[in-house]
């Protein structure tokens, strides 16, 4: 019930949140997060819609057989699955290296003084 | 193929065997639910399983929730009948997880307690935003429930050889009643365990059938595709456009569907609620990663199974069988492994429906009890015991609604119905979720406009689309008030909801709550106050 305990019973002052939000550390975390997720999200959405438009409007291109009866459409579809796996792995690596350390540092800084209070509320 | 037609019209397999396999599944899972629920005391236990699941467990449960009857029965059927165009569902359903992984899952985990509305109302005015979010949650769950129950109807008719509507309705009622029992007793913990077991069985079953199908074709995908072409008598089954390529309207419909699929997942309330069953944001991330691998692998299987059904059974026989397009996967199981495999696969598919319906029901009940009863009626003063009591009562009501809806929605393609639920979710929820997580200026008015605007436009467009009237396959075949040509509303309603959220915000003169904005941003990225381990040691 950690979530509930802190959200309701242990108030971190609004002042603290403003300070943290302005801190260089947090701004760096925010920048690292957004500079990864936004471009990657836009990129995979573009790639997905390029594929959708090809399937919708480039019937002859998608029907070209590459080997045996496997055509470009099928390969591009499977490529979508592969890129989904690849982006997932990429993000997890990035988050583990570049986001989690700062996030947990900030968290401990804020929660440090509250450790006693939250133990009581548990 | 006409020789097979006569046999396919009655139930393949042995109804008694099918029922006993299914009964065994129910007995085992019910036992586990009972054990899991022994310490369901608080609201956090009931809604969020005490936040006690690991990322791997929760990821498997998410896959269980997501690989619904739509994915298994619907997609295999769609590929078997419409070939490549059915495969598009798989791609959209899978790529959509990246939106959830990158933009939503962790931030949401860090800022909410039990429901989507917790996050959306975090820094906005509680009452209006919570009510709106609860209404959209209930509506999305309703559409999703319809799809699952429609699948149950088709499956039952195939398995038990029950072809008359009354008999099917009785079985749907039994399924609904079982689901109510699971959710009442087990809460989120019991439901999650059912999902985990079911996901393992479903993926294992699909894997066995995939390997078997490939083995029959020399482990060569190209040979399998050739066989599908030979049975179908139409090489176009391998190319896009069989279903959506007919004319300009169907092509637009295809894009509309693709948009709804890719943006819907990250806004499905029953998937979002799963992120609260894990202790930390990192576990939420791990859950999504597990889910993506399991779901992605499964969709590769469905590609083989779909073309396998097209090759070994053929579209004509599938459509002529009692369950129609949704029965491709069970028929393939029968073709491969006879009555025993059919019984096993059907029991798994049935369990799938049961488990997904349970997951949807608990989400809808939590949303009603937590967002409407506790936060709006009782203004946040409700005792947690009362909240859980209300949630349990809501489960019964939703169960009854699901049963009635399921009896009504018998026979539609399940993947298609689920796509409508995705469109409603992407229109009503996603803009507000993204704006409130990433846009500092976002306001209450923007949220309310976007949610109601998205919900209303999606539902109205469906009501005036060929889905409901105007064509032979419509729900009301006799009438024609289909003034909107597309059967999926996403292309119009999703951009509209984003626009309304923006417009409502820039026109809103009410000063923003900057304290709450700072708190939400810091919490969402760092997990302050939301990490279980931080207080548990």
Instruction: Give tens-digit pLDDT for B282-333.
Output: 889 999 999 999 999 999 999 999 999 999 999 888 888 777 787 899 899 9
Which residues, 6+ apart, have CB-to-CB distance to B167 below 8 Å?
B160
**pLDDT at A61 (0 to 100):** 94
Q: Name which of B241, B288, B525 is nearest A29 (Cβ-Cβ).
A: B525
**pLDDT at B531 (0 to 100):** 63
Q: Name which of B222, B251, B514 is nearest A70 (Cβ-Cβ).
A: B222
A4 within 8 A of B44, measured Cβ to Cβ: yes
Classify the complex by whether its ipTM is higher than 0.90, answering yes or no: no
Contact call for B84 and A21, based on CB within 8 A: no
**pLDDT at B374 (0 to 100):** 84
Contact call for B113 and A3, based on CB within 8 A: yes
Contact call for A88 and B238, based on CB within 8 A: no
Cβ atoms within 10 Å of B421's Cβ, excluding its own: 26
Interface test with A, best of B235, B525, B537 (most A CBs within 10 A): B525
In B, residues 39-68, which contact A (CB 8 Å cutoff)? 42, 44, 50-51
**pLDDT at B443 (0 to 100):** 94
B529, closest residue in chain A (CA to CA):
A6
A50, closest residue in chain B (CA to CA):
B255
A122 within 8 A of B536, measured Cβ to Cβ: yes
3-class secondary-structure state, position B487: coil
| pLDDT band of A82, cuts 50, 70, 90 | very high
pLDDT per residue as tens digits for the range A22-80: 999 999 999 999 999 999 999 999 999 999 999 999 999 999 999 889 999 999 999 99
Contact call for A118 and B88, based on CB within 8 A: no
**pLDDT at B5 (0 to 100):** 35
- Is the per-residue pLDDT at A81 higher than 90? yes
Contact call for A68 and B51, based on CB within 8 A: no
- Is the per-residue pLDDT at A117 higher than 60? no
CA distance B443 to B501: 8
Comparison of pLDDT for A87 and B4, the residue scoring more: A87
B500 within 8 A of B453, measured Cβ to Cβ: yes
Give the pair of three-digit tokens for residue B272.
């979002």
pTM for the whole structure: 0.88
Cβ-Cβ contacts under 8 Å, A48 against chain B: 91-92, 95, 258, 262
**pLDDT at B189 (0 to 100):** 84
CA distance A32 to A95: 9
Q: Name the CATH code of domain B2-34+58-419 (choices 3.30.360.10, 1.10.10.60, 1.20.1730.10, 3.40.50.880).
A: 1.20.1730.10
**pLDDT at B532 (0 to 100):** 55
Give which of B467, B458, B461 is closest to B498, Cα–Cα. B458
B510 within 8 A of B445, measured Cβ to Cβ: yes
CA distance A74 to B187: 42
Cβ-Cβ contacts under 8 Å, A3 against chain B: 44, 51, 113, 276, 529-530, 532
Mean pLDDT value of segment A11-19: 85
**pLDDT at B474 (0 to 100):** 73
Give which of B124, B121, B145, B147 is closest to B134, Cα–Cα. B121
Alpha helix locations (H) across B37-164? Answer: 43-48, 55-66, 69, 76-82, 84-99, 105-111, 116-120, 126-159
**pLDDT at A91 (0 to 100):** 96
Residues of chain B predicted below pLDDT 50? 1-10, 533-537
**pLDDT at B12 (0 to 100):** 63
**pLDDT at B4 (0 to 100):** 37
- Got the DSSP string for B358-416? HHHHHHHHHIIIIIIIIIIISTT---HHHHHHHHHHHHHHHHHHHHHHHHHTTTS-HHH
B153 within 8 A of B1, measured Cβ to Cβ: no
Give the pair of three-digit tokens for residue B50.
């005490």
> How close A91 comes to chain B (CA, Å)?
8
CA distance B41 to B188: 12
**pLDDT at B13 (0 to 100):** 66
CA distance B415 to B73: 8
Interface test with B, best of A19, A56, A110, A117 (most B CBs within 10 A): A56
CA distance B66 to B144: 11
**pLDDT at B195 (0 to 100):** 87
Contact call for B528 and A111, based on CB within 8 A: yes
What are the Cα distances from residue B200, in Å, to B65, B197, B270, B294, B344? 12, 5, 19, 10, 13
In B, residues 208-227, which contact A (CB 8 Å cutoff)? 220-223, 225-226
Cβ atoms within 10 Å of B108's Cβ, excluding its own: 25
């Amino acid at each position: 019930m950690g979530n509930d305990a802190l959200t309701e019973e242990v108030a971190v002052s609004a002042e603290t949140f403003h300070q943290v939000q302005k801190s260089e550390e947090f701004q760096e975390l925010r920048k690292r997060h957004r500079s990864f997720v936004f471009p990657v999200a836009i990129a995979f959405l573009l790639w997905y819609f390029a594929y959708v438009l090809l399937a919708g409007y480039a019937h002859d291109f998608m029907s070209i057989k590459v080997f045996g009866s496997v055509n470009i459409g099928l390969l591009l579809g499977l490529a979508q699955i592969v890129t989904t796996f690849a982006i997932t792995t990429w993000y997890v690596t990035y988050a583990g290296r570049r986001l989690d350390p700062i996030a947990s540092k900030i968290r401990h800084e804020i929660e440090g003084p509250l450790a006693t209070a939250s133990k009581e509320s548990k | 193929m006409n020789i097979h037609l006569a046999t396919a019209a009655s139930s393949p397999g042995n109804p008694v065997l099918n029922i006993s396999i299914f009964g065994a599944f129910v007995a085992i899972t019910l036992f586990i639910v009972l054990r899991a629920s022994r310490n369901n005391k608080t609201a956090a236990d009931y809604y969020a399983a005490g936040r006690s699941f690991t990322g791997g467990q929760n990821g498997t449960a998410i896959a269980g929730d997501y690989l619904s009857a739509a994915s298994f029965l619907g997609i295999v059927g769609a590929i078997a009948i419409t070939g490549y165009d059915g495969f598009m569902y798989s791609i959209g359903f899978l790529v959509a997880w990246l939106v959830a992984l990158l933009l939503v899952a962790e931030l949401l985990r860090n800022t909410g307690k039990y429901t989507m509305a917790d996050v959306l109302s975090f820094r906005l005015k509680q009452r209006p935003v919570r009510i709106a979010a609860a209404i959209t949650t209930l509506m999305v769950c309703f559409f999703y429930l319809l799809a699952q129950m429609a699948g149950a109807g088709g499956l039952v008719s195939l398995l038990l050889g029950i072809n008359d509507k009354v008999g099917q309705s009785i079985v749907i009622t039994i399924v609904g009643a079982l689901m109510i029992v699971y959710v009442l007793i087990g809460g989120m913990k019991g439901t999650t365990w059912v999902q985990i077991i079911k996901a393992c069985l479903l993926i294992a079953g699909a894997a066995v059938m995939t390997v078997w199908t490939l083995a029959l074709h020399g482990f060569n995908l190209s040979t399998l595709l050739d066989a599908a072409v030979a049975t179908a008598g139409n090489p176009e089954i391998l190319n896009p456009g069989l279903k959506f390529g007919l004319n300009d309207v169907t092509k637009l419909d295809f894009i509309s569907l693709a948009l709804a699929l890719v943006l819907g997942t990250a806004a499905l309330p029953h998937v979002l609620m799963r992120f609260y069953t894990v202790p930390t944001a990192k576990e939420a991330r791990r859950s999504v990663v597990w889910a993506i691998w399991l779901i992605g692998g499964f969709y590769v299987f469905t590609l083989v199974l779909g073309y396998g059904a097209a090759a070994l059974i053929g579209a004509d026989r599938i459509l002529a069988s009692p369950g129609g397009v949704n029965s491709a996967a069970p028929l393939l199981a029968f073709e491969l492994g006879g009555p025993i495999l059919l019984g096993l696969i059907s029991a798994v598919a049935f369990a799938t429906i049961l488990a997904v319906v349970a997951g949807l029901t608990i989400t809808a009940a939590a949303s009603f009890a937590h967002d409407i009863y506790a936060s709006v009626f009782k203004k946040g003063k409700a005792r947690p015991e009362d909240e859980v009591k209300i949630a349990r009562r809501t489960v019964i009501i939703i169960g009854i609604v699901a049963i009635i809806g399921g009896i009504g929605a018998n026979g539609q393609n399940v993947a298609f119905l689920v796509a409508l639920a995705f469109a409603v979710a992407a229109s009503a929820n996603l803009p507000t979720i993204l704006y409130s997580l990433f846009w500092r200026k976002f306001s209450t008015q923007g949220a309310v406009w976007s949610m109601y605007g998205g919900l209303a436009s999606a539902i109205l467009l469906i009501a005036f689309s060929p889905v409901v009237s105007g064509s032979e396959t419509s729900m009301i075949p006799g009438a024609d008030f289909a003034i909107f040509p597309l059967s999926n509303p996403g292309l119009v309603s999703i951009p509209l909801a984003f626009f309304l959220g923006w417009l409502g915000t820039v026109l809103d003169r009410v000063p923003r709550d900057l304290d709450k904005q700072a708190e939400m941003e810091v919490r969402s990225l760092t997990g302050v106050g939301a990490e279980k381990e931080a207080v548990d040691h």
